[in-house]
Structure formats: structure tokens, C-alpha cells
């Protein structure tokens, strides 16, 4: 096919330019030919016409395009039509200026219509959208048989897509002027719209980390337009007796809403941020609103952030690429989800599932100043991580509002099999964390205690923790020896801390008797000692002061062959240097020196 511009010899206005003016294309290919119409030499008015494209294609020798041009005027709407001519319009008028109109993150093309309606849903005014310039029109007052506006009525706006022949609701932002109809009033507005989506947040009993990826239609307080009001958002979770399912909601800055105490200092819900929420039972929350662009700007600051996940599609968080955070990954240190799964960029580790809508994510950075983050495009395939539970014990750790990330970087002394896990225990032997192996490494969250509750749900600040290996094939728990601390400060709980270790699995039965040096040492209040016996024997493990006075008997009696761990709680003992002695009925004896500080 070829095309070209020809002069037919007729004198006419040269208002059409073609780019390119000639050319040819291969069969089954296509090319864009731009016909630009200039209105510089036209007087105000309405023009219609046709542009013809001639071709040597035998099937389509000519293509015809109908055009309509308005110069200096806007045509009357054809959908939102008023029951009178402009010259017969009611005298009571309120001028409306639409400064900006955005639908689905784009400016709609000319031809869309905007209608303003009364509280009784009667059309009170309309205008044709012009795309590249603000448009002005009147909202008319009631007069005779025309059911228009009365003073004090609120405005309700609808838009109509002329190509799809569909009406849509829009969100109104008032820029200047009164937000209600007043005779002689003038108001400037912005309209934002899109397909309404009902985002469903599936809240689990206990702690959740959540976010939303819609701009809510409702839930805004009268004096705040930066974001929805949290009380209005979750009013749907109150029962008939006004009992709220939400126990507490917290943001990254420590602000919180505590319904039981009727307290809230979260001024508004920031749509780009994540939040932690504790609920008394599993429940769904429905947030209707307009979809937020998947690549909308999110500000990331130094140290810890809690951000919203905006895309409707999932993004991969696996190592080594960490695709979901790839635009800023060079400045990311640690990332956590609601269940404590984490990314450590330094160790090139991740046990996180693909990121998904409705979730919030906790990110630590080494930035020197804030940056703008945008989620990357959708992937063709997203990696899948099998995090199914295997039967270690019916007791699972309690998910609380804070945790410490622990990475077992390497493990020796055993051949790993499917379902093997590492679990963490408090000094009172309560399970406070558990994780599976991924490519020979294991990441787990060690959960901390909630200070505002009487129960002890997790580790206390600076509490010593113990790690054990669950052998899924043998269905037994095995002790671990600490070989090296690669990062962090040892097996002591620190909220939002990170610990990386090399460990080995202790053999079932040691070859010889032994008593290991206590850990930690020096210690404050509690320390752990590991000992072993190659056979059944009577074991005595005792603590003495430097004068030989017996302070505490830790073990006294017959033990079977194996490896064992015992804790010494020295809370009521004075600071100083002490001796721990192990004696066996076979004659074995060993003493280690421990240091207690207060």
C-alpha cells in the first residue's frame, strides 16, 4: 500500500497537514499517519468535515475519518441535557469551574460530559469537557417547573464517557469557594474518578500489617482531605452494642488509635503507608474506592518505614534480585512482613512470599535523605515459596507487634530434609519463633512480649533465647551449638534487631562427658549451660561462690546419655564471680568460671 497527498487544483483553506505525506507499508503491517487540523484561520463556530486517505489496497481503497471542530465555543451536552435553552436559563446561578478532571490516572479526552446534581438527584447543570483547559458552567437554582438547587444544598457530580456511553461517579475536591450551592456563588473544583473497587482486607485474629490501594469514596472527616479518618473507616467493625473489634491501630511514628480508651492521635490514614492492627477476632473490612496507580510515588526515609503495597498484582521478593524493591534495593537493609518473614540484603537472603495487595511492609534503609519509590512493572512469572506448616508441635508462637529477625546462615552436623525447622525458645521454655529452611538457610522471627498486657507472649527486652533444630524425618528436637555470630549481638532479644549465625546440630550422644562455658558470659540475671553424658549416670551440677559456699544446685540425679541445657536464674544473687562444677558418678569433674553483673 502507498499513500500520498495530492493537489486537486481546488482553492481551499490549508488547515490540514499530513505527517508523513506519503509512504508504503508491508502486507499485514501498520503505520501511524497523523492528520493535524489547524484552527488558526477559522472564526468561532462549529465545523464538521471528512478526511479521506486513498490507497492502492484493492480491499480498502479509501479510508474516511469524520471530524468535528469547535472553535471558541463548547457545544451543548448531548447526555446531561437541561430542559431549557441557555437564553431561558434560571436567573439563580452558581458558577462552577472544573480546574482539573482525572479518570483512571489520565485526563479524559474532549467529549466527556460533567453533570452536577441536587440532593434529590435532579440535574442542575452540565458542561462538555474540553481536555486541555478548565471548563466553566452554572449550577442553576430552582425556578418554576425546574427542580434546581436551593441555597445550602450540596453538589453531587457524575461524568459521562461519550465513547463507552457510561456514567461514572467521581470524587470532588473543592479548591476555592463554597462547597454548597449559593445564589451568585463561585466554586473551583477538581474531579477524580475511576472504576469503583471494593478492596477487602482479610484481617486475622491478633496482629496484622495492612495497607490499602484505593482512594476511599467515603470515610473523610469534614476538616481533613489528606486522607480518610480511621474511626470512620473501621466503624463497620462495631457491633450493635458499640463494641469495636479493633484493639489497637499503630503507625510507623508511634501514633495510635485505642478504641477501648476512646483515644486516637492518628490524624488521617496516609494512603502510601502501612499500619499495624490488632483485632480480637478474624474479620473482613470492605473499603470501596478508586484504584491508586500501581506506580504512585511513595516517600522512603532513613531507618524504618512501613509502606503500602499499591499494585493489584503480586511482585516477587525472593533473593537474589528482590524485584519488588529493585528501584531502591541498594539502600535497603532489612524488610519484614506481618509474619516476620524477612529480607536481608547483606546476606542475600529472603524467605518472603510475593508481595500482595492489602498487606503493609516494614523496610529499614541506610538512606541519607528521603527518596521517592515507585513499584516496578508486573512480572510475567512470580516465584513461589512453599511455606506450608510441618508437624513440629501444636504450639505455635504468638504473633505480636514486634520481633527480631534471625538468620541461620549455615548448619552442620546433619543432612537437611523437607520440613526441618529452627525454633526459638524463651528462658521459660516457651516457643517464641519458628522458621523453615530455604536453600540451606533458615530465617525466623523471634517475637517480643507486649508490654501493655499481663500475659507474657514473647521475649522480654534483653532476654536470652535458645535455638533448637526440629528434625522432621526423625520427628525429634535437637540442641544446637553456636559456631559463629556473623551479625548482631548474640542470642539476646532486641526488638527490630537482626542476628546471623552459623550453628551445628549436637550429636545424640556425646563421646565424652563435657560441660561447656556458659552463655552469655558475663551475664545479667540469667545464663545458660550445656553439658553432656555418654552414658546413664548420676550428675551433679552446682554453683559455688569463690569461698566455696554452695549457691545453687542446678542438676542432681540420674540422667540418661545425651546432651542437655540448663539455665541458672541468678536474679536474687549478688554480682560477682562464681564457679559452676559438674561431677559424674564415673569420676568426671569439670569447673567453669562465670561472671554475674548487675
- pLDDT at position 159: 97
**19/127: higher pLDDT:** 127
Asked whether the beta carbons of 579 and 592 are under 8 A apart, the reply is yes
User: In this structure, what C-alpha cell is assigned to residue 308?
Assistant: 503500602
Domain boundaries, the chain: 2-71, 86-193, 197-291, 298-373, 403-505, 514-596
**Residue 2 banded pLDDT, cuts 50, 70, 90:** very low
d(CA 240, CA 262): 17
Has residue 561 got a pLDDT over 80?
yes
Query: Beta strand 246-250 with 275-279: parallel, antiparallel or unpaired?
Result: antiparallel
- Phi, then psi, of 453 in degrees rounded to 5: -120, 155
What's 204-222 look like in SS3? Answer: CCEEEEECCCEEECCCCCC
**Which residue, 159, 166, 162, is CA-closest to 126?**
159
Has residue 202 got a pLDDT over 50?
yes
**Residue 291 banded pLDDT, cuts 50, 70, 90:** confident
Q: Poorest-confidence range of 64-68, 75-79, 392-396, 485-489?
A: 392-396
Q: What single DSSP character describes residue 319?
A: T
From residue 376, alpha-carbon distances to 293, 294, 323, 327 in Å are 12, 8, 8, 7
Asked whether the beta carbons of 255 and 306 are under 8 A apart, the reply is no
Give the SS3 label for residue 492: strand
- Phi, then psi, of 235 in degrees rounded to 5: -60, -25
**Which residue, 545, 567, 360, is CA-closest to 463?**
567
- pLDDT at position 68: 67
Has residue 452 got a pLDDT over 90?
no
**Sign of the torsion formed by the C-alpha atoms of 212, 217, 222 and 226:** positive
Residue whose grid cell is 545425651: 562
**Residue 320 banded pLDDT, cuts 50, 70, 90:** very high
- Measured distance between the N- and C-terminal CA atoms of the chain, rounded to whole angstroms: 91
Cβ neighbours of residue 543 closer than 8 Å, sequence gap 6 or more:
550, 551, 552, 553, 554, 568, 578, 579, 580, 581, 594
CATH class of 514-596: mainly beta
From residue 493, alpha-carbon distances to 345, 490, 513 in Å are 21, 9, 31
**Which residue, 1, 467, 442, 457, is CA-closest to 206?**
457
Residue whose grid cell is 513440629: 392
Q: Poorest-confidence range of 147-151, 178-182, 480-484?
A: 480-484
From residue 418, alpha-carbon distances to 387, 389, 392, 473 in Å are 11, 11, 12, 8
Residue 597 CA from chain centroid, whole number: 43
Residues of the chain with pLDDT > 90: what percent? 68
Mean pLDDT across 443-451:
94
**Residue 368 banded pLDDT, cuts 50, 70, 90:** very high
- pLDDT at position 389: 46
Task: Among 1.10.10, 2.60.40, 3.40.50, 1.10.3470, name the CATH number for the domain at 86-193.
Answer: 2.60.40
**Which residue, 210, 287, 283, 198, is CA-closest to 244?**
283
**Which residue, 592, 587, 581, 585, is CA-closest to 539?**
585
- pLDDT at position 46: 62
d(CA 358, CA 211): 5
Q: Poorest-confidence range of 40-54, 102-116, 171-185, 518-532?
A: 40-54
d(CA 413, CA 481): 10
d(CA 284, CA 204): 9
d(CA 113, CA 423): 62
Lay out the sheet containing 589-596: strands in order across.
550-559, 537-545, 576-584, 589-596
**76/141: higher pLDDT:** 141
Has residue 151 got a pLDDT over 90?
yes
Cβ neighbours of residue 478 closer than 8 Å, sequence gap 6 or more:
414, 468, 469, 470, 471, 505, 506, 508
- The DSSP string of 163-212 is TTTEEEEEEEEEEES-SB--TT-EEEEEEEE--EEEEEEEEPSEEEEE--
Is the fold of 86-193 the same as that of 514-596?
yes
Residues of the chain with pLDDT > 70: what percent? 93
Residue 210 CA from chain centroid, whole number: 6
- pLDDT at position 28: 77
Q: Mean pLDDT over all residues of the chain?
A: 90
Asked whether the beta carbons of 251 and 275 are under 8 A apart, the reply is yes
Asked whether the beta carbons of 246 and 210 are under 8 A apart, the reply is no
Mean pLDDT across 314-336:
97
pLDDT tens per residue, range 399-445: 999 999 999 999 999 999 999 999 999 988 899 999 999 899 999 99
Residue 451 CA from chain centroid, whole number: 26
Instruction: Give me the helices (H) in 272-382, please.
Output: none
Has residue 11 got a pLDDT over 50?
no
- pLDDT at position 55: 80
From residue 476, alpha-carbon distances to 62, 419, 501 in Å are 81, 12, 22
- pLDDT at position 5: 53
| pTM score | 0.65
Amino acid at each position: 500500500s502507498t499513500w500520498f497527498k495530492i493537489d486537486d487544483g481546488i482553492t481551499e483553506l490549508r488547515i490540514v497537514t499530513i505527517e508523513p505525506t506519503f509512504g508504503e507499508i508491508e502486507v499485514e503491517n501498520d503505520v501511524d499517519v497523523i492528520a493535524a487540523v489547524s484552527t488558526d484561520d477559522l472564526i468561532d463556530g462549529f465545523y464538521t468535515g471528512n478526511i479521506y486517505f486513498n490507497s492502492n489496497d484493492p480491499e480498502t481503497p479509501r479510508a474516511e475519518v469524520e471530524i468535528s471542530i469547535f472553535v471558541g465555543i463548547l457545544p451543548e451536552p448531548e447526555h446531561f441535557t437541561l430542559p431549557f435553552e441557555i437564553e431561558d436559563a434560571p436567573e439563580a446561578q452558581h458558577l462552577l469551574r472544573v480546574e482539573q478532571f482525572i479518570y483512571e490516572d489520565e485526563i479524559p479526552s474532549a467529549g466527556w460530559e460533567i453533570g452536577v446534581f441536587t440532593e434529590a438527584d435532579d440535574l442542575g447543570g452540565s458542561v462538555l469537557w474540553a481536555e486541555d483547559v478548565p471548563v466553566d458552567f452554572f449550577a442553576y437554582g430552582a425556578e418554576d417547573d425546574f427542580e434546581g438547587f436551593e441555597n445550602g444544598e450540596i453538589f453531587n457530580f457524575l461524568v459521562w464517557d461519550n465513547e463507552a456511553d457510561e456514567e461514572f461517579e467521581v470524587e470532588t475536591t473543592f479548591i476555592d469557594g463554597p462547597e454548597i450551592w449559593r445564589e451568585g456563588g463561585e466554586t473551583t473544583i477538581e474531579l477524580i474518578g475511576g472504576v469503583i473497587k471494593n478492596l477487602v482486607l482479610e484481617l486475622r485474629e491478633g496482629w496484622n500489617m495492612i495497607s490499602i490501594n484505593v482512594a476511599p469514596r467515603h470515610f473523610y472527616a469534614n476538616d481533613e482531605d489528606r486522607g480518610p479518618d480511621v474511626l470512620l473507616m473501621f466503624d463497620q467493625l462495631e457491633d450493635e452494642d458499640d463494641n469495636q473489634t479493633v484493639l489497637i491501630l499503630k503507625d510507623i511514628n508511634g501514633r495510635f488509635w485505642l478504641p477501648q480508651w476512646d483515644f486516637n492521635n492518628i490524624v488521617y490514614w496516609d494512603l502510601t503507608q502501612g499500619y499495624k492492627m490488632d483485632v480480637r477476632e478474624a474479620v473482613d473490612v470492605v473499603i470501596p474506592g478508586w484504584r491508586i496507580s500501581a506506580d504512585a510515588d511513595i516517600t522512603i526515609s532513613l531507618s524504618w518505614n512501613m509502606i503500602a503495597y499499591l499494585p493489584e498484582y503480586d511482585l516477587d521478593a525472593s533473593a537474589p534480585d528482590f524485584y519488588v524493591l529493585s528501584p531502591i534495593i541498594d539502600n535497603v537493609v532489612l524488610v519484614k512482613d506481618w509474619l516476620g518473614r524477612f529480607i536481608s540484603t547483606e546476606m542475600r537472603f529472603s524467605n518472603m512470599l510475593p508481595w500482595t495487595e492489602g498487606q503493609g511492609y516494614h523496610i529499614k534503609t541506610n538512606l541519607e535523605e528521603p527518596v521517592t519509590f515507585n513499584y516496578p512493572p508486573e512480572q510475567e512469572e512470580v516465584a513461589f515459596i512453599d511455606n506450608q506448616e510441618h508437624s513440629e508441635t501444636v504450639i505455635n508462637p504468638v504473633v505480636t507487634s514486634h520481633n527480631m529477625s534471625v538468620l541461620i546462615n549455615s548448619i552442620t552436623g546433619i543432612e537437611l530434609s523437607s520440613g526441618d525447622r529452627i525454633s526459638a525458645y524463651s528462658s521459660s521454655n516457651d516457643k517464641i519463633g519458628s522458621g523453615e529452611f530455604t536453600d540451606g538457610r533458615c530465617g525466623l522471627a523471634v517475637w517480643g512480649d507486649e508490654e501493655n498486657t499481663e500475659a507474657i507472649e514473647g521475649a522480654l527486652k534483653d532476654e536470652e533465647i535458645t535455638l533448637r533444630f526440629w528434625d522432621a524425618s526423625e520427628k525429634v528436637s535437637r540442641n544446637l551449638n553456636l559456631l559463629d555470630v556473623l551479625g548482631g549481638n548474640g542470642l539476646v532479644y532486641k526488638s527490630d534487631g537482626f542476628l546471623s549465625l552459623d550453628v551445628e546440630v549436637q550429636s545424640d550422644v556425646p563421646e565424652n562427658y563435657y560441660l561447656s562455658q556458659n552463655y552469655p558470659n558475663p551475664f545479667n540475671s540469667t545464663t545458660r549451660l550445656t553439658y553432656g553424658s555418654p552414658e546413664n549416670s548420676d550428675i551433679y551440677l552446682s554453683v559455688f561462690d569463690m569461698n566455696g559456699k554452695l549457691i545453687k544446685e542446678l542438676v542432681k540425679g540420674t540422667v540418661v546419655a545425651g546432651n542437655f541445657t540448663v539455665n541458672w536464674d541468678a536474679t536474687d544473687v549478688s554480682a560477682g564471680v562464681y564457679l559452676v562444677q559438674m561431677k559424674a558418678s564415673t569420676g568426671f569433674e569439670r569447673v567453669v568460671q562465670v561472671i554475674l553483673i548487675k
